[in-house]
Amino acid sequence: MKRGPEKQFDPEVALERAMEVFWARGYEAASLSELLAAMGIGKKSLYDTFGNKRSLFLKCLEHYAASSLACLESRLCSEDGKAVLPKIRTLLEEWRKASACSGSKGCMLGNNIADFDTSDPEIAGILQRHLETIEDAFAKALDAAQARGETKLPDSPRNVARAFVCLGQGAALISRVTDCGKATDGAIRAAAKGLMPGR
Amino acid sequence: MKRGPEKQFDPEVALERAMEVFWARGYEAASLSELLAAMGIGKKSLYDTFGNKRSLFLKCLEHYAASSLACLESRLCSEDGKAVLPKIRTLLEEWRKASACSGSKGCMLGNNIADFDTSDPEIAGILQRHLETIEDAFAKALDAAQARGETKLPDSPRNVARAFVCLGQGAALISRVTDCGKATDGAIRAAAKGLMPGR
């Protein structure tokens, strides 16, 4: 029996759409039928291209890291001779705006940390590496800002970077239930002032 | 037909155990059979005393708030004439230790914010009120500390309080995937130094 041609689809587009579903709903709550509907593909194509739900999720996490996190270092740490503090402030401002949106989805990493049975060492490891990527970019930028005399940090660049990562994760999380954005807005303003005071 | 006597159980103990399950597993992932096993009761007792899974969960959230959050204000804001900053620092130290534990459960509020379909307005409202309770206690204590000349805050007491709430939620979240506690440890140290500098 001759089979018809396989349905054509763009794996990257499908992955992007699956990522949106996992991001909004979390791993557990995202059902296979929801994923397939969003991706616009059938079960067979899913299994052939992405494996099962778990491996699809892992691919989505990697995709999120590649698209959302990879540009962070180049943005914060590009050696263009320009002041570093404004670069960090611009990024925080974006976080502030994102978390002030009503019905914010939060951060895909953070959502899945909370959602997940973190006894899964492979997924915990991926989430941890992603958090370290953000931390490293901040630490490098804060170190440079201090070396340039733009600020006097209250603690080591590494610890201040860690505070910003915690704060960003907390703000993204809280933005999911607050409707006015005042809480996360004020939090990020206060942290920017206290953790990297301008000179 | 005569029915045997109803099995006796302490509703408060059962609620406490259900809370532990929801806390560790999240609302979606916690199955009815897991809940019943932990609570040591049958389905009928569950429905008679606590209603369905959703209403049991709401009661657990209220119980968590009553036990973990209610004492916060009295600890931070008791008017005993003693310095306020050490009280806040002691609390942050406890957060730091809790989030440095390997395999920390995180914060029940935070976990459920991330886990939940936050389109449920009743639950989103409860979570938001609980976060505000924490924020209010911090704001009051920080205001008092500044009025007593113990610190000069980098922003309003309200905004600094918001930063601590975000930071606490972020630390509790991140502690679920990091195994060494260094990240949350450093974050809380840096925030304590930068957000409420001692005089």
In the prediction, which pLDDT does B2 show? 47
Q: What is the mean pLDDT of residues A178-196?
A: 86
In the prediction, which pLDDT does B83 show? 93
Nearest-angstrom CA–CA distance, B120 and A122: 31
Helix axes A11-25, A108-115, angle to 10 degrees: 60
In the prediction, which pLDDT does A85 show? 92
Contact at CB, B113 and A176, closer than 8 angstroms: yes
Q: Cα-atom radius of gyration of chain A, to the nearest Å? A: 20
Note the pLDDT tens digit of each residue in B12-46.
Answer: 899 999 988 888 777 877 899 999 999 999 999 99
Note the pLDDT tens digit of each residue in A45-77.
Answer: 999 999 999 899 989 888 887 777 777 888 898
How big is the A-B interface in CB pairs under 8 Å? Answer: 206
User: Residue B59: how many CB atoms within 10 A of its CB?
Assistant: 17
What residues of chain A lie within 8 A of the CB of B158, using their CB? 186
ipTM above 0.95, yes or no: no
Of B170, B104, B171, B161, nearest to B134 by C-alpha is B161
In the prediction, which pLDDT does B1 show? 46
> CA dihedral in degrees (B64, B67, B68, B74; nearest 10)?
140
First-last CA distance in chain B: 76
Give the right CATH number for A11-195 from 3.30.365.10, 3.40.50.720, 1.10.3720.10, 1.10.357.10. Answer: 1.10.357.10
In the prediction, which pLDDT does A64 show? 80
Closest by Cβ to A166, choosing from B114, B127, B170: B170
Closest by Cβ to A189, choosing from B155, B167, B182: B155
Note the pLDDT tens digit of each residue in B55-75.
Answer: 999 898 888 877 777 778 888
**Which parts of chain B have pLDDT scores under 70?**
1-7, 99-119, 179-180
Angstroms from A130 CA to nearest CA on chain B: 11
In the prediction, which pLDDT does A63 show? 84
Nearest CA in chain A to B171: A166
DSSP string, B144-171: HHHHTTSB--SS-HHHHHHHHHHHHHHH
CA A141 vs CA A82, A156, B190: distances in Å: 12, 12, 16
Angstroms from A31 CA to nearest CA on chain B: 12
Nearest-angstrom CA–CA distance, A129 and B65: 33
pTM: 0.82
In the prediction, which pLDDT does A87 show? 93
Give the domain ranges of chain B.
11-195
Nearest-angstrom CA–CA distance, B119 and A15: 25
> CA dihedral in degrees (A166, A171, A176, A180; nearest 10)?
170
In the prediction, which pLDDT does B125 show? 82
Kindly tell me if the per-residue pLDDT of A3 is higher than 60. Answer: no
Residue for token digits 């660049």? A157
Closest by Cβ to A194, choosing from B106, B178, B194: B194
Percent over 90 (pLDDT), chain A: 42
Note the pLDDT tens digit of each residue in A100-144.
Answer: 665 556 666 666 666 655 567 787 788 788 888 889 999 999 999
Which tokens belong to A100?
Answer: 């002030």
